[in-house]
Structure 1
Amino acid sequence: MRDLNLKATEYFEAVARLGSVTKASEELGISPSAVSQQLSLLEAQLGVKLFRREKRRLVLTLDGDRLFQTTTQAFSAIRNARSAISFQRDRRNFVIRVSPSFGVRWLGPRVGAFAAENEDWNIRIDATPDFSAFDTENVDVDLRYGMGTWNGVAVVPLMHDLVLPLCSPAYLERLQAIDPDPTRQLVKARLIDSVKTLYRWDLWLAFNKIQIPKINYPLRFDRSSMSIEMAKQGGGIALDSVTLCLGELQRGELVPFSVDFDVIDFPAYWFVCPSRHLNRRILQRFSQWMTSACKSHDDMARAHLQALGCRFRPGSPTDLIDVKPWGL
């Protein structure tokens, strides 16, 4: 490759593709004589004829066609890469970090609308439970799940979480067939544990003054999305977020275990970034879009739960005893 005259090869590819030295010279921005000179140098280097002239036309020889098939693919790939790099350079990047379950179940289906309104920006979603170290990482904003008690950053409330026990209709029927009393049903039920949620079964049972002799978690997941899916498949009761599974509730794939127990209603989703980021126009746009989208979703969730007969009980960070604000 070090012996190959790349400039002459580029000129050859242009002539072969366009079928004319003149057209190739116009594309390359050089004189026709310079193109012809490079073609002669390449033929001399390879020791073969690459073109033959037929009625004022340049026609590839067998060797020329073989070289053209390879070089045109290579130079086309290079041109595409160059265009992509230039396009990427001319566009601006906006990086959002989000907890995995919220990213997959809530943000993912909606962020396309924001992208369509901001086509001059490249939007990257980084789904991870780890919070951003804004001083060392190239992240514009975090969408965090937790109690909102983070120091050194601007924290803007986005949405409450609505938590209650959920299961499939078929699983609920099986429990009701065992015992009509919801409290006694819980003793017999398979409890699905979402280990990184703020409200877990032990806390919820204590709030509702329910004693289970020996709490057993045959199913434990570190992602709410997995707990919700298991409950939907009839695997047990998940104490989890209506924010993340409103669609399943609306379609009847999940139902409240019992409307006798209040929905725990507490602030849990936050827009977090350094204060200096708040002056960025794209961040202001995204904040406004998120606020509107979250309000719309929250209104729908509350209306649906009320239609099912659910009541709401406000929660607060003081309820959360020894619980850390993990990413969902």
Structure 2
Amino acid sequence: MLKDINLNAMNHFEAVARLGGISKAAEELGVSPSAVSQQIRQFEQQMGVRLFKREKRRLSLTLDGERLFQTTTQAFRMMRDVRSAIQRQRETRHFILRVSPSFAVRWLSPRLKSFLELAPNWDMRIDAAPDFSDFETEVVDLDLRYGEGGWTGLNEEPVVHDLVLPMCSPGYLEELRELSGDPIGQLRQARLIDSVKTHYRWDFWLARHGIMGERMIYPMRFDRSSMAIQLATDGAGVVLESTTLALNELERGALVPLSTAFEAIRFPAYWLVSPARHTSRRIVRIFSDWMREEGAAHDARAAALITSFGCRIREQRGRQLPGEEYLTE
């Protein structure tokens, strides 16, 4: 039975057979060569067979020794692998973040490398999902939420502002200018692309600007900003969208503001949200500090870009039209 086997002696046997000598085994095990030799003798006595042939001060495995070695070395290798895995798991620290899908792909992912350099030993998991975390039933450290704030019972901090304005491709803008020289007239002729889960939608924006009429329809509706932005980039219409998510397209000229006559609405859009008890966690503090710096740099970059187009920026804090339900982006 297994309890009758001297596991210490087996360990010495495996080391000698694997390394090819008593001295090397003794060095690995941290014992004297004589101690290794004694363990080998005891193990051979216990097994009732010779495990090594001793010829001219050299050791080689007998047939029985070879059979035993194949089994023991595999077992010890598996045990070492499991031990290493357990140690790595113990040393690895976990951070779980939930974030809205479009923001995760377009804004967060390109910046993650710099965060990982700050926390190289952390195992990071990101759930790109539109639903907010239920911190009482789910294992999540932090939410990076899109919205207007006001989540009861949770600690919240705005870290990225958004700038929203009508945008389209340069080619589509030229088509609209051929139809009308008036920005409002251009909108009346345009195909409007609607992002149905954004904070500012076309119906709210058009009403705020007094632009109404039978032609003001938006047949293209998407529940992901990335899809709406891509369609506008392809020249299919005008999108009322986030410069945070469309910053790359604006910087390389694939998208342009529809008109400098329309202000960009600026508001706190992306928030760090968690129970107050989570804010004391080291990784949450590290990520929060990093997000503040990245968010501030982004806000300055986006504002400079929009003003370079000649557009004005108007600060706004508030909901959509009364009665409209807020949806996550």
Task: Name the SS for the 1:276 alignment partner.
Answer: helix
What is the aligned partner in structure 2 of residue 155 from structure 1? 156
Q: In 1, Cα distance between the equivalents of 2:264 and 2:256?
A: 13
Structure 1 residues without counterparts, runs of 5 or longer: none
What is the aligned partner in structure 2 of residue 250 from structure 1? 251
What is the aligned partner in structure 1 of residue 275 from structure 2? 274
Alpha-carbon offset, residue 79 of structure 1: 3.8
What is the aligned partner in structure 1 of residue 241 from structure 2? 240
What is the aligned partner in structure 1 of residue 221 from structure 2? 220
Contact 1:144 1:269 in 2 (8 A): yes
Name the amino acid aligned to 1:95: I
What is the aligned partner in structure 2 of residue 139 from structure 1? 140
Q: Is residue 98 from structure 1 mapped to residue 99 from structure 2 by the alignment?
A: yes
Q: In 2, Cα distance between the equivalents of 1:194 and 1:67?
A: 68
Tell me: CA distance 1:204–1:29, structure 2 relative to 1, closer, same or farther (3 Å): same
Tell me: CA distance 1:284–1:50, structure 2 relative to 1, closer, same or farther (3 Å): same
Alpha-carbon offset, residue 171 of structure 1: 2.2
Tell me: CA distance 1:185–1:77, structure 2 relative to 1, closer, same or farther (3 Å): farther
CA deviation profile, 1:295-316 (whole Å, cap 9, x unmatched): 1110110011001001122323
Instruction: Answer with 308-317 or 12-21: which moved more.
Output: 12-21
Alpha-carbon offset, residue 200 of structure 1: 1.1
Contact 1:198 1:323 in 2 (8 A): no
Supply the RMSD in Å over aligned alpha carbons. 3.5
CA deviation profile, 1:147-196 (whole Å, cap 9, x unmatched): 10210111112222111112222222232233333323223323222121
Tell me: CA distance 1:65–1:225, structure 2 relative to 1, closer, same or farther (3 Å): farther
Q: In 1, Cα distance between the equivalents of 2:55 and 2:179?
A: 92
Alpha-carbon offset, residue 104 of structure 1: 1.6
Alpha-carbon offset, residue 25 of structure 1: 5.5
Contact 2:199 2:319 in 1 (8 A): no
What is the aligned partner in structure 2 of residue 124 from structure 1? 125
Q: In 2, Cα distance between the equivalents of 1:70 and 1:230?
A: 62
Tell me: CA distance 1:18–1:263, structure 2 relative to 1, closer, same or farther (3 Å): same
CA deviation profile, 1:271-323 (whole Å, cap 9, x unmatched): 11112222333333332221121111101100110010011223232444334
Tell me: CA distance 1:162–1:42, structure 2 relative to 1, closer, same or farther (3 Å): farther
TM-score by length of 1: 0.81
Tell me: CA distance 1:143–1:323, structure 2 relative to 1, closer, same or farther (3 Å): farther
What is the aligned partner in structure 1 of residue 295 from structure 2? 294
Tell me: CA distance 1:59–1:220, structure 2 relative to 1, closer, same or farther (3 Å): farther
TM-score by length of 2: 0.81
Name the amino acid aligned to 1:195: V
Q: Is residue 188 from structure 1 mapped to residue 189 from structure 2 by the alignment?
A: yes
- The structure with the larger Rg is 2
Tell me: CA distance 1:10–1:295, structure 2 relative to 1, closer, same or farther (3 Å): same
Name the amino acid aligned to 1:257: L
Tell me: CA distance 1:116–1:187, structure 2 relative to 1, closer, same or farther (3 Å): same
Task: Name the SS for the 2:246 alignment partner.
Answer: helix
Q: In 1, Cα distance between the equivalents of 2:244 and 2:326?
A: 17
Alpha-carbon offset, residue 232 of structure 1: 1.9
Task: Name the SS for the 1:129 alignment partner.
Answer: coil
Tell me: CA distance 1:138–1:213, structure 2 relative to 1, closer, same or farther (3 Å): same
Q: Is residue 111 from structure 1 mapped to residue 112 from structure 2 by the alignment?
A: yes
Tell me: CA distance 1:17–1:180, structure 2 relative to 1, closer, same or farther (3 Å): farther
Task: Name the SS for the 2:194 alignment partner.
Answer: strand
Contact 1:165 1:238 in 2 (8 A): yes
Contact 1:148 1:155 in 2 (8 A): yes
Name the amino acid aligned to 2:101: P
Q: In 2, Cα distance between the equivalents of 1:173 and 1:90?
A: 58
Alpha-carbon offset, residue 236 of structure 1: 2.3
Q: Is residue 263 from structure 1 mapped to residue 264 from structure 2 by the alignment?
A: yes
Tell me: CA distance 1:41–1:24, structure 2 relative to 1, closer, same or farther (3 Å): farther
Structure 2 residues without counterparts, runs of 5 or longer: none
What is the aligned partner in structure 2 of residue 20 from structure 1? 21
What is the aligned partner in structure 2 of residue 321 from structure 1? 322
Counterpart mapping for 1:61-72 below 5 A: none
Contact 2:189 2:215 in 1 (8 A): no
What is the aligned partner in structure 1 of residue 198 from structure 2? 197
Tell me: CA distance 1:80–1:313, structure 2 relative to 1, closer, same or farther (3 Å): same
Q: In 2, Cα distance between the equivalents of 1:65 and 1:177?
A: 87
Q: In 1, Cα distance between the equivalents of 2:213 and 2:273?
A: 38
Tell me: CA distance 1:301–1:14, structure 2 relative to 1, closer, same or farther (3 Å): same
Task: Name the SS for the 1:164 alignment partner.
Answer: strand
Instruction: Answer with 193-202 or 115-124: which moved more.
Output: 115-124
Count residues in correspondence.
321
Instruction: Answer with 243-252 or 166-175: which moved more.
Output: 166-175
Contact 2:148 2:319 in 1 (8 A): no
Contact 2:12 2:39 in 1 (8 A): no
Q: In 2, Cα distance between the equivalents of 1:172 and 1:76?
A: 67
